[in-house]
Amino acid sequence: MGEQRPLRILLIDDNPRDRVLAARELRRTFTDAQIIEIIDAVGLAEAVAMDDFDVVVTDYQLHWGDGMAVLAAVKTRRSDCPVIMFTASGSQELAVAAMQSGLDDYVVKSSQHFVRLPIAVERALERMEQRRVATRLDAERNALLIRSQEAERRATFLAEASALLTASLDYQITLGHLAELVVGSLADWCLIDMLDEDGELDRLAVAHHDPACAGLAARLRNYPPHWFRTENPIGEALRDRRSVRLDAISPEQIEASALDPEHLQLLRELRPHTAVLVPLLARERVLGIITLVLSAPERAYGPQDVQLAEALAHRAALAIDNARLYKTEQQVRRQAERTAARLSRLQLVATALAGAVTVDEVAAVVIEQGVAAVEANAGSLVLFDQHSGQLEVIRAVGYSDEVLRRWQRFPLSAGTPLSDAVRERRMVLLSNEEERTQRYPHLHGERAINKANAWAAIPLLAGGQAVGGLCLNFGSARAFSAEERTFMDTLAQQCAQAIVRARLYSAEQTARAASGAASDRAAFLAEATALLTSSLEYDTTLEHLARLAVPRLADWCIIDVQEPDGALHPMAIAHLQPERVALVQELRLRYPLDTLPEHPVARVIQTGQTLISPEDPTAPLALRGVDAGHTALLETLEVRSQMVVPLIARGVTLGALSFVSAQHDRYGPDELALAEELARRAELALDNARLYRAAQQAIQIRDQFLSIASHELKTPLTSIFGNVQLLQRRLTREGAVGERDTRTLRAVVEQTDRLRKLVDALLDISRLQAGQLSVARDLVDLGVLVRQVVAEYQPTLEQHTLTCQTPASSLLVRGDALRLEQVLHNLLQNAVKYSPQGGPVHVRAEVRNGYARVHVSDEGIGIPTAALSRIFQRFYRAANADTRHISGMGVGLYVVSEIIALHGGEVSVESTEGRGSTFTISLPLID
Ligand code: ADP
């Protein structure tokens, strides 16, 4: 600057001559200098006030003052401005005193000394320049020193802050540390507000450097700022992501930021004077804001403070972000661990449920595993009963007995979380007591509920229907996470499915048991039917029936049968212990039913209605007895319960079936049904046996009659036949009768012969029936017998040609010649009779395999195939014999087969209807 403008020299001297001299000398050296000449006090004051000079040259002796006064005036204004004084010669002391007061140099005022003036000025200026440089350097050094000290202080602070901020990974603790750190150095008090997930600010830390005010400041926690208000500086800092400094905060500003009068009062007491609001930024996200406040008016935030606050905020934001990330990571890890644990728990539950077959087992698995898995302190499982509309607890843990008793059953409309969950088929979750009080005020004071602080009620849904519910109680309040809700829901639904499965299983078991019982019954009845139809004998059937009842239906069984005259007789008895049958017999013998009209058997026979005793415990005679003996006998026979079923066939009461047991109340509807089924089958079998017996009796009477009749008829008929033959022969010989009488006589002989044969046949039948037909065991030559019979028979035939073929050797058999002759006659007669058109009849005898065989063949009507197996039965006649009106009784072949059988031989037939028949008899040959 000195180079740019000319040197300005203030020359103060009130002697004009000296001034000229001095100026001339100065100009000699400083050619461009401006010399301002001052001649009086006013000029000096103006010049000093103008302050536009570089050096001052003053005379000591001034008529309006002296050089000392000028020196003082200049130095006061400009301490660094050089001042050079003219002094009178010889006043050295004066000059020294002036130098002590700041004078730079002096020049003795004389003509020869004037030349020294420019040198003095030059030197003074040089000294001044040196001083200036030194001062500047000093200042610069000082400034540097201060700056480095400040930087060091800040670095230390930030290092300390970093250490403190990273000391903990707990985000809340970190914030506390930050606040404490700040109030020690950067602020009188501070606030830290963090943005939550919803973008709202939470005041998480407040600190004040004065412990006396800490309580006051702490109350600011209740006033998190509404930062989104545009006029709010916090909002400005957050939105613009930059620091905002508030200098000299006015009462109006305080008022504007207060949320309510109390807040305002608080703020006024805390006296914010200057503040800086620094956003906390990390990974380009705004995490929150830190507010630093100074209350003392003498302090204020400068740019460096703001910078420091920002550096601190930057570190704090990173630390918070780290802490948050760590927390999130921890949470995620814990969540993952919990999820894994729950999944494995669900797996366990599923496995355990697969093995649970009853509803109770299912409930046990779900409650035990479920309660542990969600860390509940109590749990219960209820099932919904559709009929009663009630919920019933089937499994519970963690409740007192008293609570369990009171809540064992409750209606769907009970208005509890569990009943609501089942009714509305949705989960009911109560995270804390407040929620519970709000939603279930009426349950206040309910102990089952009060023991917990959070509740979950989950419906058990199967096919859209709620089969019941699961209730879980938690010791502490909790927000149910989505994962937790899913877990509980899955648990409940697994449980519901298992319950449905268990119910199906139990239904199937019941059905299986029922079908087992049914097939048992069916097997028993089938066995009964087989046994009852195995005999047509009435008594045997009754015996079978009584035996069937024991032990399946009774310890002992008795069948009382009603005779046509109404009398009742015990016909069959069976006892588990056979030796006791005699006791039962004694019972009926000593106390006959006819004398006990009130006896259950008598009543059943009378009414035809089934009866179970005891129908009332005091009454039944059969169990009580009519006298002491009766009672004792009943006691011995252990008659405790009894069932009597009537046997009725085609409207007729045949009798009654009594089942007796030593067991009390043995008989119920099932036994009764089975007994009745048995009775129905027995009735059929008994009816058949009865009919069979009647038929047998009828047949017996008929046979008896036939036997008697044929015996009685035989003798007179034989006599009549003999005499008629005699008469015929005699009259024929004598020729005494005419043609007509001869024919009549022949007819009489023929009819008598037929009658005789008929009677013979009947007699044979009755003998066979009675087992009285016997055959002789003589030697008979069958060949001779055949030839003899054929020879006798041949002359009587007109339409038929009878041929005979016998071996030359004899056919010796052992037998009854008369009976064998009867057999041959019979076969020949049939061959002729059943060839009504005539034709050949051929008889052939032969030996085959040690048997003598005789075949009698005809070419007559033959025998229908269906009749072949039956023609040897008594009274059987083939249909074609009847349609052709060939008379006969169906007896001949029966007698033939019986006679041959008595000879140890066989008779057989081969025939084709319309073609003819061949009958063959085989008799064992004698070796
Ligand atoms: P019947 O008195 O009816 O002849 P049999 O006992 O001698 O009684 O014969 C039984 C039945 O066998 C006859 O009714 C007839 O149907 C049949 N039968 C017996 N012999 C012959 C035969 N040679 N040809 C055809 N049918 C015969």
The CA 818 to ligand 1 mean position distance, Å, reads 21
Q: In this structure, what are the phi and psi dihedrals at residue 856, rounded to the nearest 5 degrees?
A: -120, 110
Q: Which residues contact 782 (CB under 8 A, 6 or more apart)?
A: 811, 812, 813, 820, 845, 852, 854, 923
Tokens of 419: 């009943």
Q: What is the pLDDT of residue 230?
A: 56
pLDDT band at 498; cut points 50, 70, 90: confident
Q: For a pocket test of ligand 1, which of 765, 828, 834 has the largest count of ligand atoms closer than 8 A to its C-beta?
A: 834
Q: What is the pLDDT of residue 471?
A: 93
Is the distance from the beta carbon of residue 917 to the nearest atom of ligand 1 less than 6 Å? yes
Q: Report, in angstroms and rounded to the nearest whole number, the Rg of the chain calculated over CA atoms.
A: 74
Q: Which residues contact 803 (CB under 8 A, 6 or more apart)?
A: 840, 841, 842, 843
pLDDT band at 189; cut points 50, 70, 90: very high
Between 448 and 618, residue with greater pLDDT: 448
Residues 165-178: b if buried by 16+ CB within 10 A, e if exposed: beebbebeebbbbb
Give yes or no for residue 618 having a pLDDT over 80.
no
The DSSP string of 700-742 is HHHHHHHHHHHHHHHHHHHHHHHHHHHHHHHHHHHT-S-HHHH
pLDDT one-digit tens code per residue, 375-390: 888 999 999 988 888 9
pLDDT one-digit tens code per residue, 450-477: 577 899 999 999 888 889 999 999 988 8
Residue type, 377: N
As a whole-number percent, the residues of the chain with pLDDT over 90 amount to 30
The CA 830 to ligand 1 mean position distance, Å, reads 6
Cis bond before residue 614 (omega within 30° of 0): yes
Is the distance from the beta carbon of residue 895 to the nearest atom of ligand 1 less than 6 Å? no
- Could you tell me the CA-to-CA distances from 656 to 506, 554, 683, 688, 858 in Å, in that order? 40, 15, 10, 17, 61
pLDDT band at 660; cut points 50, 70, 90: very high
Do residues 492 and 349 touch, judged by C-beta distance below 8 A?
no
Give yes or no for residue 866 having a pLDDT over 80.
yes
What is d(CA 182, CA 175) in angstroms, rounded to the nearest whole number?
Answer: 11
Q: Which atom of ligand 1 is nearest to the CA of 895?
A: 6
Give yes or no for residue 816 having a pLDDT over 80.
yes
Instruction: Specify the 3-state DSSP secondary structure of 93.
Output: helix
562: left (phi over 0), alpha (psi -120 to 50) or beta: beta
The CA 902 to ligand 1 mean position distance, Å, reads 21
As a whole-number percent, the residues of the chain with pLDDT over 70 amount to 97
Is the distance from the beta carbon of residue 896 to the nearest atom of ligand 1 less than 6 Å? no
Give yes or no for residue 871 having a pLDDT over 90.
yes
CA 837 to chain centre: 91
What is d(CA 737, CA 729) in angstroms, rounded to the nearest whole number?
Answer: 11
pLDDT one-digit tens code per residue, 689-699: 878 888 888 88
Could you tell me which residues are beta bridge partners of residue 656?
560, 646
Residue whose token pair is 């089969």 = 467
Is the distance from the beta carbon of residue 860 to the nearest atom of ligand 1 less than 6 Å? yes
What is d(CA 777, CA 816) in angstroms, rounded to the nearest whole number?
Answer: 6
Is the distance from the beta carbon of residue 892 to the nearest atom of ligand 1 less than 6 Å? yes
Is the distance from the beta carbon of residue 863 to the nearest atom of ligand 1 less than 6 Å? yes
What is d(CA 514, CA 618) in angstroms, rounded to the nearest whole number?
Answer: 34
Is the distance from the beta carbon of residue 710 to the nearest atom of ligand 1 less than 6 Å? no
Q: What is the pLDDT of residue 2?
A: 43
pTM listed for this prediction: 0.39
Q: Which atom of ligand 1 is nearest to the CA of 862?
A: 25
Among 186-190, 557-561, 760-764, 911-915, name the one with the lowest average pLDDT: 760-764
Among 126-135, 361-370, 639-648, 730-739, name the one with the lowest average pLDDT: 730-739
Residue bearing the CA closest to ligand 1, atom 10: 890
Is the distance from the beta carbon of residue 822 to the nearest atom of ligand 1 less than 6 Å? no
Helix (H) or strand (E) holding 498: helix 482-532
Q: What is the pLDDT of residue 616?
A: 46
- Could you tell me the CA-to-CA distances from 531 to 511, 545, 547, 548, 561 in Å, in that order? 29, 8, 10, 9, 19
What is d(CA 377, CA 397) in angstroms, rounded to the nearest whole number?
Answer: 8
- Could you tell me the CA-to-CA distances from 121 to 52, 58, 72, 84, 656 in Å, in that order? 17, 12, 19, 7, 168
What is d(CA 423, CA 442) in angstroms, rounded to the nearest whole number?
Answer: 18
Q: For a pocket test of ligand 1, which of 863, 880, 915 has the largest count of ligand atoms closer than 8 A to its C-beta?
A: 863
Instruction: Specify the 3-state DSSP secondary structure of 302.
Output: coil
Give yes or no for residue 448 having a pLDDT over 60.
no
Closest CA to 654 of 524, 545, 751, 516: 545
| Across 105-130, average pLDDT | 86
Residue bearing the CA closest to ligand 1, atom 8: 890
Cis bond before residue 417 (omega within 30° of 0): no
Q: What is the pLDDT of residue 757?
A: 83
- Could you tell me the CA-to-CA distances from 55 to 46, 79, 82, 84, 134 in Å, in that order? 16, 11, 5, 8, 19
pLDDT band at 391; cut points 50, 70, 90: very high
Do residues 448 and 407 touch, judged by C-beta distance below 8 A?
yes
| Across 340-344, average pLDDT | 79
Among 42-56, 171-185, 889-903, name the one with the lowest average pLDDT: 171-185
Q: Beta-strand (E) ranges in 42-82?
A: 55-59, 61-62, 65-66
The CA 775 to ligand 1 mean position distance, Å, reads 24
Q: What is the pLDDT of residue 3?
A: 53
Q: What is the pLDDT of residue 913?
A: 95
pLDDT band at 545; cut points 50, 70, 90: confident
Q: Which atom of ligand 1 is nearest to the CA of 916?
A: 24
pLDDT one-digit tens code per residue, 194-246: 888 888 888 888 999 999 888 888 888 888 877 665 567 888 888 889 999 98
Q: What is the pLDDT of residue 115?
A: 83
Do residues 103 and 95 touch, judged by C-beta distance below 8 A?
yes
Q: In this structure, what are the phi and psi dihedrals at residue 811, rounded to the nearest 5 degrees?
A: -115, 85
Do residues 574 and 581 touch, judged by C-beta distance below 8 A?
yes
Q: For a pocket test of ligand 1, which of 870, 871, 910, 918 has the largest count of ligand atoms closer than 8 A to its C-beta?
A: 871
The DSSP string of 855-913 is EEEE-SS---GGGGGGTTSTT---HHHHHTT----S-HHHHHHHHHHHTT-EEEEEEET
- Could you tell me the CA-to-CA distances from 72 to 67, 83, 99, 131, 746 in Å, in that order? 9, 10, 12, 19, 215
DSSP 114: G
What is d(CA 247, CA 134) in angstroms, rounded to the nearest whole number?
Answer: 37
Give yes or no for residue 623 having a pLDDT over 70.
no
pLDDT one-digit tens code per residue, 781-796: 999 999 999 999 999 8
Give yes or no for residue 606 having a pLDDT over 80.
yes
Q: What is the pLDDT of residue 617?
A: 44
Highest mean pLDDT of the ranges 100-109, 634-643, 756-765, 822-831: 822-831
Tokens of 674: 């089975």
